[in-house]
Structure 1
């Protein structure tokens, strides 16, 4: 059973891949079960992610499915090896929603992270002061000690980007930049931080201008994740009223990959985006003087 008695992101990813390869090989679950000398129920649980495949099971199934690509095989074997691995975020599990833990696990494994935000500064770019200000506006009271833990988690998440562990790309609607939802001083610090992080080689920040019209209203905030050397989208996290939902179906992945490409193409280039942010910063300084 995956850690915590529930499917983990890694076990689900492994199960989804095994199912796709089985279907491509035109084998049914009873036939797959014969390959590993197990029951059909075992195959069903493996493919749903409710249990984690052993490495030997992965190897046997991939042999039966005709998968010879060494990179694919290595990736899936690694998922089997590490699906129960205790990530740093589990130290804070009692303070975090399960869906948030899933989101962090996706970030931790990702080689490419792309994010669209139309209301708030993306979490991986937020300063502690900005995060705290946003938390304090929530209608749900959060004790100061829990706020401190949330800030610590946010800082740990950002280490992935700051240390160059993934290529990160963000498209942010101009409203997020030009209309502060927090104090002016906190917003100024936040914009300065975005400019600084945007200088990193693994980071690209673009602003979607008001001039593009209704494109910014087509979809709410989302993040896409890739786990290989190529930026093919393999998981999507959607923010909603109830938390975060993770999508892994092929049609969903294709739709959000296409949506992000549309947003990125319509957004200002990184240099022009930085220029816009600097202009807003100057305006904020002039208004406060």
Structure 2
């Protein structure tokens, strides 16, 4: 994933500089085939190659150059999640890699509680509803991975914003007790300085149906969207094209402006908690 992000950036700068691949190959004294593989992320550029290419493309911004050199240095680093790779789909591994590198993460969910907010009991209950029968050991492994992903937020390693449709909190898809615990966890995490949780109310109408769940990621000091992960029946798809990034960034802004403010969202969640307690009694 890091190699792919690096390759995408190098391709964008090459095109902006009006270089073709044979010309780029001359810069690094290599072949057009290698340039192609660098830009698709099939191989990782060496730091010296990144420096030479950026210099040829006229990229002088020290922050940009430093960021891309860091990607080249660390693209082959072994992430913690690879210890669990035997239990994970390749697309899920890509999603985790994006999260691990991100400085800003934004998520929209209209069916389930976002993974970065889920309690272990909620995660386990959701996994067990899968039509694919899983042995208990694999379920436990997936729950462990979900908890490990949340460490990024708990440690303040990224600014995290989540927008949740009201149906997610008012219509439990798990047992009432697990759901009550989950609502408490959302309120607790939502009090962190680096976390914002908003609820999109039913009153906005059909807006919640315009798009399925997605996450956006930024990797710099500014929150400009640089990758989007879409959830679908076959897993997760990652989008990196400029038009796609702009479309999902605009969609998230629309959802955020239509959602309740964080304080009002927390008040709504607390009200639902009380109603669940009253129903239980």
Q: When the two structures are superposed, what TM-score results if normalisation uses the length of structure 1?
A: 0.97
Secondary structure of the equivalent of 1:225? strand
Measure the CA separation in 1 of the matches of 2:268 and 2:212: 23
Residue of 11, 14, 28 corresponding to 2:6:
14
1:53 lines up with 2:8 in the alignment: no
1:157 aligned residue: 149
Measure the CA separation in 2 of the matches of 1:37 and 1:72: 23
Q: Could you give the per-residue CA deviations for residues 136-174 of structure 1, whole angstroms, max 9, x where no partner exists?
A: 111111111111111110010000000100000000000
Secondary structure of the equivalent of 1:27? coil
2:275 aligned residue: 283
Map residues 259-278 of structure 1 onto 2, 5 A cutoff. Answer: 259-278=251-270
Q: Give unpaired runs (5+ residues) of structure 1.
A: 1-8
1:167 lines up with 2:167 in the alignment: no
Map residues 70-89 of structure 1 onto 2, 5 A cutoff. Answer: 70-89=62-81
Measure the CA separation in 1 of the matches of 2:201 and 2:140: 34
Root-mean-square deviation (CA), in Å? Answer: 0.4
2:220 aligned residue: 228
1:6 aligned residue: none
Stretches of 4+ moved more than 6 A in 1? none
1:209 lines up with 2:198 in the alignment: no
Aligned residues: 281
1:176 lines up with 2:149 in the alignment: no
1:199 aligned residue: 191
2:107 aligned residue: 115
1:258 lines up with 2:256 in the alignment: no
Map residues 25-36 of structure 1 onto 2, 5 A cutoff. Answer: 25-36=17-28
Measure the CA separation in 2 of the matches of 1:243 and 1:32: 35
1:5 aligned residue: none
Tell me how far 1:210 sits from its aligned partner: 0.1
Secondary structure of the equivalent of 2:173? coil
Measure the CA separation in 2 of the matches of 1:134 and 1:245: 21
Tell me how far 1:78 sits from its aligned partner: 0.5
Secondary structure of the equivalent of 1:193? helix
2:133 aligned residue: 141
1:218 lines up with 2:210 in the alignment: yes
Q: Give unpaired runs (5+ residues) of structure 2.
A: none
Q: When the two structures are superposed, what TM-score results if normalisation uses the length of structure 2?
A: 1.00
Secondary structure of the equivalent of 1:172? strand
Measure the CA separation in 2 of the matches of 1:132 and 1:101: 19
